[in-house]
Chain A
Amino acid sequence: AQKITQTQPGMFVQEKEAVTLDCTYDTSDQSYGLFWYKQPSSGEMIFLIYQGSYDEQNATEGRYSLNFQKARKSANLVISASQLGDSAMYFCAIHPYNQGGKLIFGQGTELSVKP
């Protein structure tokens, strides 16, 4: 079975500073993808970044980067230069490639950016 663990229910960060949101995963599959989604208070799920299990380089998308440590089964999200609009719930998810494309989500981390 696959499992995602996000150990930080809530985080605070000062505007313009960097923040790391933790994500560890458990899977027996060799091929999988890891995702981060942002869910603002309006409720929609916004895709942020993706990392494939065979990707050798850490994924980056603008201010978002993924610190992927395969041996430790961790996929932490780093947000640089935090903005007030980054305040939201953040979900880590795993997609085992041989299981029909479904995503398994963690419980989320609520990030609050202080001015």
Chain B
Amino acid sequence: NAGVTQTPKFRVLKTGQSMTLLCAQDMNHEYMYWYRQDPGMGLRLIHYSVGEGTTAKGEVPDGYNVSRLKKQNFLLGLESAAPSQTSVYFCASSPSRTLETQYFGPGTRLLVL
């Protein structure tokens, strides 16, 4: 039982490049989330999903797209990376809406030059 895993752990991009971050969970959770954390700040929600095939916008969705084609995977895409997207990205999952905790992945550190 690996919990929540994220791929890659670290990536450097040039402005304008695209990439996809992969989040996978093996706990059969319905809900999955993508957050970003900037220096000195708490996490902010980018997008989330309440089930396979569904996604919704969070607090800071601009510049990102997501897909949940399989229940266990939640992909975060950057179509044209910008330096403002330099951040640490966390994925999380939870079993239900009235959750008692969210389970976080280890994070992906992204640097956009």
Q: Is A bound to B? A: yes
Stretch at the interface among A67-75, A76-84, A93-101: A93-101
Chain A interface: which size bin? 20 to 34
Residues of chain A with a CB closer than 8 A to B2's CB: none
How many residues of B are in contact with the other chain, CB < 8 A?
28
Q: Return A18 CB to nearest CB of chain B, in Å.
A: 24
Whether A45 lies near B42 (C-beta < 8 A) is no
Contact of A47 among B44, B59, B102 (CB under 8 A): B102
Q: What does the 1/0 interface line of B37-65 toward A look like (CB < 8 Å)? A: 00011111100101000001011000000
Within 8 A of B (CB), among A90-109: 91, 93, 95, 97-98, 100-108
Residues of B within 8 A of A (CB): 31, 33, 40-45, 48, 50, 56, 58-59, 88, 90, 92, 94, 96-104, 106-107
Residues of A within 8 A of B (CB): 4, 31, 33, 35, 37, 43-45, 47, 50, 52, 91, 93, 95, 97-98, 100-108
